[in-house]
């Protein structure tokens, strides 16, 4: 007979998050002694958009689980929840703890850079993106983010264009990359190319507010 935990895990894997929560809560676990159940509840609540409950369960996993991979994954999801609710300092501190534990990847450093950018520390964001690119030189997200932040700083704007174009080469129809190229061209003073790429970005992602804002700004200067 399948256990309630396994039933909950299967329901989670099948995308039935509400039923998964019901099955997992029915275990009536002491989560300090059963962090695996807490982990899956955290995942379910994240998918359901109940971030407060998700954070509570991931915090239990981080504090009590001895399974290093679950602790790592919980830390990364929790840092994501912190970042989307603009608690960047908490996210940064948590990711730095992950790195101190010996985990390194381009994704980790890119996430850290995003949080630094969100907190307004652009130079620190660039430092972490450089570490990301050392580990994975052709990662388009890192290339794009690096170029975009260079453009935002208003320094090395020609290099900003080059980095954004390298990212775009990896995925030529991706709206975020088209937007970054257009914005970098704008910061570099090339209004014609800026409008060309931003209009392409608008065609690909017609409902994106950032693209619409960038295009409006650039067209007003034309």
Q: What is the tens place of the pLDDT at every residue in 141-200?
A: 999 999 999 999 887 999 999 999 999 999 999 999 999 999 999 999 999 999 999 999
Residue 40 · residue 20 · CB < 8 Å: yes
Q: What is the tens place of the pLDDT at every residue in 130-151?
A: 999 999 999 999 999 999 999 9
Is 53 among the domain residues? yes
**CA 142 – CA 59 distance, rounded (Å):** 28
For the entire predicted model, the pTM comes to: 0.81
Domain boundary among 18, 42, 65: 65
**CA 129 – CA 142 distance, rounded (Å):** 6
Is 178 among the domain residues? yes
Domain boundary among 44, 65, 86: 65
CATH number at residue 50: 1.25.40.10
Is 112 among the domain residues? no
Give the rounded percent of residues in the chain with a pLDDT score beyond 70.
Answer: 100
Sequence-distant (≥ 6) Cβ neighbours of residue 165 within 8 angstroms = 147, 181
pLDDT of residue 1: 60
Sequence-distant (≥ 6) Cβ neighbours of residue 37 within 8 angstroms = 5, 8, 24, 27, 29, 31
Residue 135 · residue 106 · CB < 8 Å: yes
Is 78 among the domain residues? no
Is 135 among the domain residues? no
Tally of domains in the chain: 2
Q: Which residue has the tokens 């919980």?
A: 74
Is 3 among the domain residues? yes
Is 128 among the domain residues? no
Long-range contacts of 127-134 (CB under 8 A, 24+ apart): 132/106, 132/107, 133/106
Domain hosting 149: range is 142-222
Q: Which residue has the tokens 């256990």?
A: 3
Q: What is the tens place of the pLDDT at every residue in 83-128?
A: 999 999 999 999 999 999 899 999 999 999 999 999 999 999 999 9
DSSP class of 171? S
């Amino acid at each position: 007979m399948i256990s309630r935990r396994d039933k909950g895990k299967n329901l989670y894997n099948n995308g039935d998050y509400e039923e998964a929560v019901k099955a997992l809560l029915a275990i009536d676990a002491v989560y300090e002694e059963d962090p695996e159940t807490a982990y899956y509840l955290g995942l379910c609540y994240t998918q359901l958009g109940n971030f407060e409950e998700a954070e509570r369960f991931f915090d239990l996993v981080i504090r009590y689980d001895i399974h290093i991979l679950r602790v790592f994954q919980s830390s990364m999801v929790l840092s994501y929840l912190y970042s989307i609710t603009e608690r960047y300092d908490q996210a940064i501190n948590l990711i730095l703890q992950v790195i101190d534990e010996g985990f390194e990847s381009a994704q980790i450093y890119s996430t850290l850079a995003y949080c630094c950018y969100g907190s307004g520390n652009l130079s620190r964001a660039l430092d972490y993106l450089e570490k990301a690119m050392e580990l994975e030189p052709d990662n388009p997200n890192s290339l794009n983010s690096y170029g975009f932040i260079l453009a935002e700083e208003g320094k090395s704007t020609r290099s900003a264009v080059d980095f954004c174009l390298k990212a775009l080469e990896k995925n030529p129809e991706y709206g975020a990359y088209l937007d970054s190229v257009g914005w970098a061209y704008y910061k570099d003073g090339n209004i014609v190319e800026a409008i060309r790429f931003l209009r392409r970005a608008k065609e690909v992602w017609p409902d994106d507010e950032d693209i619409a804002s960038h295009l409006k700004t650039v067209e007003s200067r034309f």
